A and B are shown apart, each in its own frame.
Chain A
Amino acid sequence: MRGSAVDRLLARAFAATVRMYPRTLRRNAEAEMTRAFRDGLAARSGGSARLSWAGREVADAVAGLAPAWLDARRSTKRNPTMRATSIFDGLGHDVRSAVRALVRRPGFAVFVALTIALGIGANSAVFSVLHSVLVAPLPYEEAGQLVRLYRVEDGADRGDLSEPAFADFRENLSSIRITALDNYGGREYGADVSLDGRAERVHLLPVSADYFDVLGADVILGRPFARDDERGDAPVVVISEGLWQRALQSDPNAVGRSLVLDGVSRRVSGVVSSAFVDPVVGAIDVWVPQRVEPRPSQWDNYYLTVYGRLAPGASLASARAEVEGRSGVQRRIAEGRLEGDYRGTVVPLQDDLVRSSEPMLLVLMGAVGILLLITCANVTALVLARSVGRGPELSIRAALGSGRGRLIRQLVIESLLLAVIGAGAGLLAGALVQRALVAAAPAALPASTTVGYGWPVALFAAGLALLVGLLVGGLPAFQVTRRALERNVRSGVRAGEPAGHQRMRKTLVAAEVALAVVLLVGAGLLLSSFQRLRTRDLGVEARNVWTFQVNLPNARYADPEDRVRFHAALHERVRAIPGVERVGAASRLPATGRYHGPWAIRQRLDDATIEDAQNRTIQGEWFAALGIPLLEGRQFGPEDTPDAPRRAVLSSSLADRLFPGESAIGRQFLVLGQPLEVIGVVGDVAKEPTGPPALVVYHAHEQFAYNRNWALFQVVETAGPVPGLVDIVRAQLAELDPNLVLIEPEPLSAVLGRQTAGNTFVTLLVSVFAGLAIALAALGIYGILSYYVRRSRHEIGIRMALGAGAWDVRRLVAWRGMSVTAIGAVAGTLGALALSRVLGSLLFEVSPYDARVVGVAVGLVLVIGAAASWLPARRATSVEPAEAFRET
């Protein structure tokens, strides 16, 4: 069956090629040729023989196209009555004369092609990213069936799920198969793998059974986890192909071998193809079983990310309805642990993943689209100016019998040719730009995205080339040919530019200016927002602060007091390094988002809980190292031992929420039902790069180490740059425990900068586009004025002969440029006001209608318009009256 489909396809390709042959040949032989092809194919047996024969025939037919047309022309010349009448007739001639016309003016051709290359290149690059992220299916089997399951609740539109809820959904849903993982609040999970004596840090992800099955991962060895493994302490792992090669030397019998992970030996149960990445977290080296133990007390402990795959025949709507129905049952069986409006919902996985990058990409696409329009306007104005000079040529051709259609075709072919050359150059340049984009954008794009630069982009560029070619050639062609036909051969040596052209060119340049204003306003708003974002007070002093992590393996640091002692010893050693001022640690860095879902915090048991507060476990000089001021009371000290009453330090906002209008010091409050005494209040720090400050309860690690093995972020504040600091710290760590890894050492400012990577990315790009836009618009104004001055030498000469001063003439010329600029600026301002709303979600503390930004953008355009008008205006006064008259 497969053979016949391929046969049909090849036969169609052959027939399509034959249809492009000249009509005379087709009339005589088309039917016979296609039948000969079919018969020839039928006479051959064996797939590869047929394929190679058919391929040769199709290639032969394609190669014969040009000679066939040459033959047809030869015979037509000899015998005009046999004139072929295909739509391609004379095309070769037109293309050749287009090439000649362009070669005659290489400067013009190169300039136009480069301008088009700029527009199409920028568009191709941004389109490739947009297409890969928003359109191309996710890299999973039947990716359209993948969904994400969320909890919706007052205040949480896409919340995580709890273990009991996940287990309940898994048992009772029929329209969707689900799996859960703990992505740790979006933070990277890691583990140290021992490889022949040394440790390597790897990415780790706890996942439930069915994870690989639901996502359709390619398990190349062994088997993934079973439900029995969902205990949390099951000593099995699934590893990536990459780790299998590095750690187990691609042993085909790797299943059952052991791998030492954070000091614990675990059995390898499966190996997954390295092509597989987690949709949310990205590349993973080791998967461990996620604990799924539906204890009733855990109904409101939300931390699981849940993926699902729609069952065959199930729709998104049916899955959603089933999930919502089941949430009602969960509210009943959870016995009051779930809020009244708790329910689950289902969203397509792709929509979910692109949610954060979609507005950014659409804004970028809009910006490059505007840039393309500007390039088109610029080129059209240029082509129009040039085609006026060709009036006589066109008139002669019209007189010789070329119809208007033929003349238009000739002109459009020229611009298409330029557009195709420009698109080719643009595609090549776009590939480089795209690489730069992807390198600059990693934190701003979904983890599973691989950005390709393939056929879709080429097709897109080809489509743009066609559009641009038709547009920039078509408009002037209609104008010019009408004129040429009216005038016919009445040869004016100095035919003035018709009024229609002037209007059109002015309109084009005004449109360019308007579009440039729109882009400038957009860039200005983003820049101003970015400036605010950068200078926003996060509540911490990041200068001269380094941060890193150390992971204490459970196997050797099972005792909470050992972990506290380790940190104290580490801090002491690091503080002793010359240049180091303070050292501290906490369970999460500031301004890097939440660490956990809501923990019930309230003053008394009968109070409403504060849901959006965060808990941080700290040790050492955390506050001092980050410059977080102590506002009231005291910090943790040696007296806050595990045996002492539990104590807490509150952030200022949380203290105000819990104890409005009174001092919090000495007061008690509850965290998850446990009473704590407030001993101090410190300054607020940011939770996210934007948004309100975090409400934080700080716990002393000394008192809270029993809760879990906290993976603490260390911070080291130095007096100034300390050369080789990281190596010195690493050496100290090795002396303390040679089997520990110094994880991700970097300046705190780099960590904080990454949080706003998306904003940086968009701002940078839109600013570049706006810069290009204004440069193009300036060129447009300059072009139209230079042209005007050239055409008006006569008039200027007369004016000067009649006594007009140099300044009068300059004013006259400059006025023309400025009036076009002003009209464009007004239109652009209106356009910007209408469009800048789309930037809304990308702006921080800046109104889309910020008057200052609009004012600066318009001012800039006016200044550049004036500058572009100045040179031609000056040149105008260099006209010698006598010379101008002689030209007549």
Chain B
Amino acid sequence: MAENDRRDPVDRRPLRPVEFQILVLLADGAKHGWAILQRAEDGGRAVPGIATLYRTLQRLETDALIERRRDLEDDEDRRRVYDLTPAGRAAASAEARRLDTLLGVARSARLLDEPDAG
């Protein structure tokens, strides 16, 4: 069973939408789980459920796309913050590029044109 588990994250399976969403929300700095939910909500995006969020965080951590560490500003509280690893950042931007390419295709197929007002 010579399974290559540590493949280059860039060419691993496509990220699921909720994984991508979390990576994007972490792109501007480490956050608590709760803060991730808040941001998702403020951004008017589809908000993952609490269980889905933590389950996904666990998976991303297992895949070494994010890391979990102590919150240095808040060490009485035992909350942890989540931060992107370089691999995570790479995976997020690879996914963003993949989506961008897709969008380009969609645009050239005129799927994104304003509908005619006539």
Contacts and interface: CB of A to CB of B under 8 A. Distances in A.
B43 to A, nearest CB: 17
Contacts of A254: none
A137 to B, nearest CB: 39
A875 interface: no
B51 A60 contact: yes
Contacts of A60: 48-52
A33 B57 CA distance: 12
B51 A64 contact: yes
Contacts of A850: none
B59 A71 contact: yes
Contacts of A29: 33, 54, 57-58
A24 B52 contact: no
Nearest to B79: A32
Nearest to B34: A36
A88 to B, nearest CB: 16
Interface in A772-801: none
A534 to B, nearest CB: 66
Given A24-B58, A29-B57, A29-B58, A57 B68 contact: no
Contact of A57 (B51, B58, B79): B51
A662 interface: no
Contacts of A107: none
Of listed A18, A32, A68, residue having the most chain B CB within 10 A: A32
Interface in B16-72: 32-34, 37, 48-52, 54-55, 57-59, 61-62, 68
B78 A18 contact: no
Interface residues of B, number: 22
Interface in A62-91: 64, 67-68, 71, 74-75, 78
Contacts of B57: 29
Contacts of A634: none
Interface string B56-99: 01110110000010000000001110000000000000000000
Q: Report, as a range, how many residues of chain A touch the other chain.
A: 20 to 34
Contacts of A78: 3, 5, 62
B33 A36 contact: yes
Given A31-B78, A32-B80, A37 B50 contact: yes
Contacts of B51: 17-18, 21, 33, 57, 60-61, 64, 68
B32 to A, nearest CB: 8
A33 B68 contact: no
A25 B5 contact: no
Nearest to A68: B55
Contacts of A32: 32-34, 54, 79-80
Interface in A1-53: 14, 17-18, 21, 24-25, 28-29, 31-33, 35-37, 39-40
Given A60-B52, A61-B51, A67-B55, 9 more contacts: A21-B51, A25-B58, A28-B54, A28-B80, A31-B78, A37-B50, A56-B49, A60-B51, A71-B58
The 8 closest A-B pairs by CB, nearest first: A60-B49, A61-B51, A29-B54, A64-B51, A75-B62, A25-B58, A78-B5, A36-B50
21 contacts: A14-B50, A21-B51, A21-B55, A25-B58, A28-B58, A28-B80, A29-B33, A29-B58, A32-B34, A33-B33, A33-B50, A35-B34, A36-B33, A36-B50, A40-B37, A40-B50, A57-B50, A67-B55, A71-B59, A78-B3, A78-B62
